[in-house]
Structure 1
Amino acid sequence: MDAVSARLLVSPEGRALIDSLPPYDGARAITLGAELRAHGADPGLVAAALTQSRLRADAAAKFGDFASGMLFTQDGLEQATRLQVAAEHARRFRDAGVRRVHDLTAGIGADAMALAAMGLEVTAFEIDEATALIADHNLRHWDRARVVLGDAMTLAPQIEADGVFADPARRTARGRRHDPRDYAPPLDDVLALRERFPALGVKVGPAIDHSHVPTGVEAQWVSVDGSVVEAALWCGPLAQEPGHTALVIGADGAHRLAGTTDRADAGALGDYVYEPDGAVIRAGLVGELAHLTGTHLLDPTIAYLTSDSPLGSPFVRGYRILESMPFKVKPLAAALRARDVGTVDIKKRGVDVTPEQLRPQLRLQGSVRLTVIVTRVAGRRTALLAEPLAQQ
């Protein structure tokens, strides 16, 4: 989006047009656009408004009902922090006694909105003019939030604040930037601001190598509804517990796991298998989880846990084992047919298997649905027939 389109959108006419549109329907978008232009609406504004209608529909997954009053850019929506995660960020600053925050990379303003909603004074920096206009619209409800157009790395040190948050860009037209040195701005440059602003938080890619995590900070990996969505580095008073932590957010709230045990013993297959949440795995806390829950690994190199008793924990997804066998396609298919299985959910870890290729090879026609876990148990390729436990 260019600045001209953004100015059209944030104008009174633009906001009125967007708010008047019906719920987005891709099949009718072209016809609706023609109708609006026929009634005298500016063609550029119509195109921009219809795009916003689509983006608002897509944004509901991240922002819920708030999306209906927000404006977006495509890149901004894709990179924006989810509402419930942004709220967790804001609570850190509030609980650490921070009252004035610089958001160095505002984007569409998601984190700045959460900080402002928590009662903090926010200066949101954005280097792109169109995106800054969008962020300014999204922050319009909070008098203590302002958007500054310019390079935050130059401007922010000149303005007083108690804390800083940054979400460096990690995408280009060619894909993701996995090396923190390639972030924009680079991670090391952001971390250097700790000398000026000790209360510093930086959102990073969840695939960040642990070697890039400085000592003395809290590195937290976050999952929402089972999907790992981010990692963040929290410095100074924002670090609740230096080291690695995992935050698992689900329908029942947010659950935090911290610890230092990164290794677990392996043992015999029990009656139940547990798949640790991805945030726990990324944080290197499978050993801590095993210690906490009294479970052990299926295999020294595989992040599956097992026990002889059912386990209630927000940090795992559990399965009751019905049958175990060496992994070979024909015996596996026969075992599934004997149980009248017609649909399988295939999970695999540590074995070179493609679920999309395995599923048709099984040729199932029954009425029962089961889970097949293909993994290694004590070094042997193994297929586990299982049924999921109710999510705890």
Structure 2
Amino acid sequence: MVARKVALSFKQMKQLTSSFPPAEDLMIAALTTPEGWRLLQEYPCPSPSEAADIAKHLRKQHPADLVAALQTQWNLREKAQEKLDSEAKNKLFTRDGLEQATRKIVAAQRAKRFAKADVTSMIDLGCGIGSDSMELAPLCPDFLAVDISPAAATCAAINLSEISTAKVFCENADNLTSQKTLPALFVDPARRAAVGRVLSPDSWSPPLGKVLEWEKRSPQLAVKMAPGIDLAYLPDGYHAQWVSVDGNLVECALYSPGLAPEGAGRSALVICGRQVKHYRCSTACNPGEDHVQIPQAATLGSYFFDPDPAIIRAGIIPDLCEELGAAPVSTGIAYLTGDSLPSEQDSLGFHCYQIVENLPLKAKQVSSYLRSQQVTRLDVLKRGVALDIAAWRKKVMPKRNRDWSPRTITVALTRVGGAHRCLVLVAVK
């Protein structure tokens, strides 16, 4: 997608944010002054190679703290392109807002749920800098984004300025959820406090229990949560979906029946590049049910499968085992082994390797093998063993001989049938 240039004048920007309290973020406060806004429009996102020279030039004419704020925003815009693509060059971010922002491709998948439910009126509560709102608002003629933080609301108002039907409020969620009926809701509770991450959903702002009560007055409710949430907090009748992007587990989202045509239970949304695949857990009728455990393999097969973390968290290992004709390498370990390769279409949810050696997990034997293979680099997978990988790698890696050509191998340190083993692997394309 080609980035659309946001060319808001200072007057237009102030009209969007005039009802908000002063921004608590010093960078946002500096950049939304007449001088700061003019500089940001003139120098929206220079390349890293140019930024230092531009900043040096600007410090001769402008306050150092303003130039520092500008540099910080350039860095955030550069980093934000990993999540939001090139359009991030013209958006406004806070540090915390960018860290918590939903990736564009994930937000687009979520927006499809609201579109399929024919949602025409909705509120994004806890919108942050507006990353989800940017995908939801174009689909909804009556759209409201809300955040209690003046700095976040300022960013959201600017980032949504090209969507004429979107409104942004700086409000406490309680002020907007007191009426008898509510529109569709997307809620991203605050999960951070002054001391760091808040793990208990009872301590989120607003608490998860309170959010779930709103579903009684809303036809559709979606809640973004940390992917490590305890299954015990997930209510019956809802659908929970864990999402990974390029192998990184990024979120869990909870959907009420009005947004879950697949029904109650659990699923995984696996995204690799531009490829997207849904995996449904066939063993869970409700999201909070315990994972079904599969007996370990009787013997080690020819192949080794490392499932995507979203599949593991969603409890889809039994379905994957059935699909692959595989089983866990050991009881309770989410590495699988089998003798059949999947089709390319079905392989998005896991990495597949051929097992070429099965060694005892003993430093001398592993080191001897690596020396015999003239290994110069070691990639390590680990699950089910308590080892410091950095220290272990130093212990087993042979000293490189000048005559050796660069060679990398992959090993999995795990349990096989209960015994600690080092499996030497070759990736299957």
**TM-score (ref. length: structure 2):** 0.85
| Equivalent of 2:317 in 251, 274, 286 | 286
Match of 2:93 among 66, 72, 83: 72
> Which residue number in structure 1 is paired with residue 31 of structure 2?
9
- Tell me how far apart the structure 1 counterparts of residues 207 and 146 of structure 2 sit (CA, whole Å): 16
> In 2, Cα distance between the equivalents of 1:164 and 1:307?
44
* Secondary structure in 2 matching 1:130: helix
Amino acid aligned to 1:172 = A
Equivalent residue for 1:175? Answer: 196
Distance of 2:25 and 2:352 partners within structure 1: 50
**2:8 alignment counterpart:** none
In structure 2, the gaps of 5 or more residues are: 1-22, 284-291
Partner amino acid, structure 1, of 2:206: P
- Residue 252 to residue 64, structure 1, CA distance change in 2 (3 Å): closer
For residues 16-165 of structure 1, the aligned pairs below 5 Å read: 16-21=38-43, 23-25=46-48, 29=52, 32-39=54-61, 41-158=62-179, 162-165=183-186
Tell me how far 1:51 sits from its aligned partner: 1.4
Amino acid aligned to 2:101: A
Q: Distance in 2 between matches of 1:53 and 1:28?
A: 8
Partner Cα separation in structure 2 for residue 348 and residue 165 of structure 1: 37
Give the structure 2 partner of residue 352 of structure 1: 386
SS of residue paired to 1:303: coil
Q: Report what 2:333 is aligned to.
A: 302
The Cα RMSD (Å) is 2.1
Q: Is the 8 A contact 1:112 1:139 kept in 2?
A: yes
Q: What letter matches 1:79 in structure 2?
A: Q
The alignment status of 1:263 with 2:285, answered yes or no, reads no
Q: Secondary structure at the match of 2:329?
A: strand
Does the CA-based 8 Å contact 1:126-1:149 persist in structure 2?
A: yes
Query: What is the CA distance between 1:114 and its match in structure 2?
Result: 0.8
Question: Residue 376 of structure 2 corresponds to which residue in structure 1?
Answer: 342
Given the alignment, which residue of 313, 333, 355 partners 1:321? 355
Distance 2:119 2:407 in 1: 55
Residue matched to 1:204: 225
Aligned residue in 2 for 1:187:
208
Aligned-partner Cα distance in 2 for 1:231–1:101: 20
Q: Is structure 2 residue 428 aligned with structure 1 residue 389?
A: yes
Distance 1:28 1:151 in 2: 38
Q: Distance in 2 between matches of 1:284 and 1:186?
A: 25
| Stretch moving more, 97-106 or 18-27 | 18-27
SS at match of 1:359: helix
Pick closer, same or farther for the CA change 1:44–1:55 going to 2, 3 Å: same
Quote the Cα distance in structure 2 between the aligned partners of 1:297 and 1:135: 46
Cα deviation, residue 252, structure 1: 4.3
**2:10 aligned residue:** none
Query: Quick one: percent identity of the two aligned structures?
Result: 38
Q: Which amino acid aligns with 2:188?
A: D
Q: 2:411 is matched with which residue?
A: 372
What is the rounded CA distance, in whole Å, between the counterparts of 1:166 and 1:211 in structure 2?
20
| Partners of 1:160 and 1:116 in 2: CA distance | 20
**Deviation larger for 20-29 or 82-91:** 20-29
State the shift of 1:117 in Å: 3.0
In structure 1, what is the Cα distance between the partners aligned to 2:99 and 2:300?
A: 41
Q: For the residues of structure 1 that align with 2:104 and 2:321, how far apart are their CA atoms?
A: 31
Q: Cα gap change, 1:183/1:12 in structure 2, threshold over 3 Å: closer, same or farther?
A: same
Distance 1:120 1:13 in 2: 35
Question: Cα distance, 1:219 vs. partner?
Answer: 0.6
Bigger CA drift: 88-97 or 41-50?
41-50
1:252/1:202 CA distance change after superposition, 3 Å: same
Distance 1:26 1:252, change over 3 A: closer
1:216 to 229, 237, 258: 237
- 5+ residue gaps, structure 1: none
2-side partners of 1:232 and 1:339: how far apart? 46
Note the C-alpha offset of 1:160.
6.7
**TM-score, with length taken from structure 1:** 0.93
Instruction: Indicate the SS of the match to 2:59.
Output: helix
CA distance in 1, matches of 2:29, 2:394: 53
Report deviation, 1:4: 6.8
- Residues 373/382 of structure 1: CA separation in 2 closer, same or farther (3 Å cut): same
Return the alpha-carbon distance in structure 2 between the equivalents of residues 229 and 351 of structure 1. 25
Choose between structure 1 and 2: higher strand proportion. 1
- List per-residue Cα deviations over 1:111-137 (Å, max 9, x = no partner): 111101334532011111122111100
Contact 1:104 1:152 in 2 (8 A): yes
Alignment: residue pair count: 388
1:122 & 1:275 partners in 2: Cα distance?
A: 41
- Cα gap change, 1:68 to 1:3, in 2 (>3 Å): same
